[in-house]
């Protein structure tokens, strides 16, 4: 789902490239990816005019994962967002958004194996996975 005209997509593309540089060549790529993700987050807070909007939650949890990977001994975690961000950029599949959609305040449906399966096997969508999973319930 290449979307050159979408600002969010371009942020994700640059982040994926920086994470790839980090895991393949130089850990400075991780620091740059964290900085870019912070800019990305602030940009979306300003544009959405909300700190609780679903896209903001996704970016906060994504940034949290990058920061967690900074802890000594947990650097291997960078592989997860590196691979996942490329999946988002190339195919529109955002695993982080799917995880975030399962949080209690983002779902009125009872937590179940069926909900988890539907959430993670749903086809990539343009827009929010949260809206897709809610629509499939009805």
What pLDDT digit, counting tens, does each position of 50-72 carry? 888 899 999 999 999 999 999 99
Place of tokens 């620091």: 31
37 vs 84, 128, 137, CA distance in Å? 14, 19, 32
Q: Residue 44: is it exposed, middle or buried by C-beta count within 10 angstroms (0-12/13-18/19+)?
A: buried
Provide CB contacts within 8 A for 93, sequence distance 6+: 87, 124
Of 127, 116, 117, 137, residue with least CA distance to 94: 127
What pLDDT score was predicted for residue 128?
Answer: 56
111 or 75, which is more confident: 75
32 within domain boundaries: yes
35 within domain boundaries: yes
122 within domain boundaries: yes
63 or 107, which is more confident: 63
What pLDDT digit, counting tens, does each position of 30-43 carry? 999 999 999 999 99
How many domains would you assign to the chain? 1
Which pTM does this prediction carry?
Answer: 0.84
75 within domain boundaries: yes
1 within domain boundaries: no
Range of the domain at 35: 7-137
């Amino acid at each position: 789902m290449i979307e050159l005209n979408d600002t969010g997509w371009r942020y994700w593309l640059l982040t994926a490239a920086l994470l790839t540089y980090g895991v393949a060549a130089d850990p400075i790529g991780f620091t740059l990816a964290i900085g870019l993700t912070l800019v990305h987050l602030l940009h979306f807070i300003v544009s959405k005019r909300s700190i609780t909007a679903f896209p903001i939650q996704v970016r906060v949890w994504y940034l949290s994962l990058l920061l967690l990977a900074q802890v000594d001994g947990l650097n291997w975690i960078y592989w997860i967002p590196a691979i996942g961000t490329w999946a988002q950029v190339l195919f529109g599949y955002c695993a982080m958004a799917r995880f975030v959609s399962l949080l209690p305040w983002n779902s009125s449906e009872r937590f179940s194996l069926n909900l988890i399966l539907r959430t993670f096997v749903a086809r990539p969508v343009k827009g929010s996975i949260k809206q897709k999973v809610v629509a499939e319930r009805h």
